Amino acid sequence: MEELIYKTVHWLGETYSGYRGRPTHRFEVIVLVALAIAGMISTALYRAKRQAFESRTAQAVAAKPLVAVAFSEENGQVIRQVATLREGVAGYSVSVSRCCGDDCVEVCSQALGSMVAVEAYLRGHTVFVLADFSRQDD
């Protein structure tokens, strides 16, 4: 048993000329390969979760428009931002309104073709993300 352990440790400790002539140990290569495989697996899992989330959101918005609300404060006044996500003929539409007291003004409105485009638009132009949206109970 000790001989097997000794041979394994010796094999892992061997060096060879690696990147730019830097000596590299075999155990370093094994660790790097393991990290690359773990990274690929975690990326695939994240992508699958993201696609499932977008699919659930698309099904929910098909049944009823989704709403997100955010509150902030400017100059001592409470500002309420309301975003609505609807499904239309050509895709999805997002509209964001800003309410200060009784005054409501539509800040932006955009028609988009996919949930990926909706997420990108929300992150780039509003304070909302796709996960903020939920069904509004009447």
Query: What is the chain written as a DSSP string?
Result: -HHHHHHHHHHHH-EEE-GGG-EEEHHHHHHHHHHHHHHHHHHHHHHHHHHHHHHHHHHHHHHS-EEEEEEEEETTEEEEEEEEEEE-SSSEEEEEEEEETTEEEEEEEEEESSHHHHHHHHHHHSS--GGG-EEPP-
Give the pLDDT mean for 33-42.
97
Confidence class for position 28, pLDDT limits 50, 70, 90: confident
Higher-pLDDT residue of 66 and 76 is 66
User: What pLDDT is attached to residue 33?
Assistant: 93
Task: Write down the pTM of the prediction.
Answer: 0.68
In the predicted model, is pLDDT for residue 19 greater than 80?
no
11-15, 43-47, 86-90, 111-115: lowest mean pLDDT where?
11-15
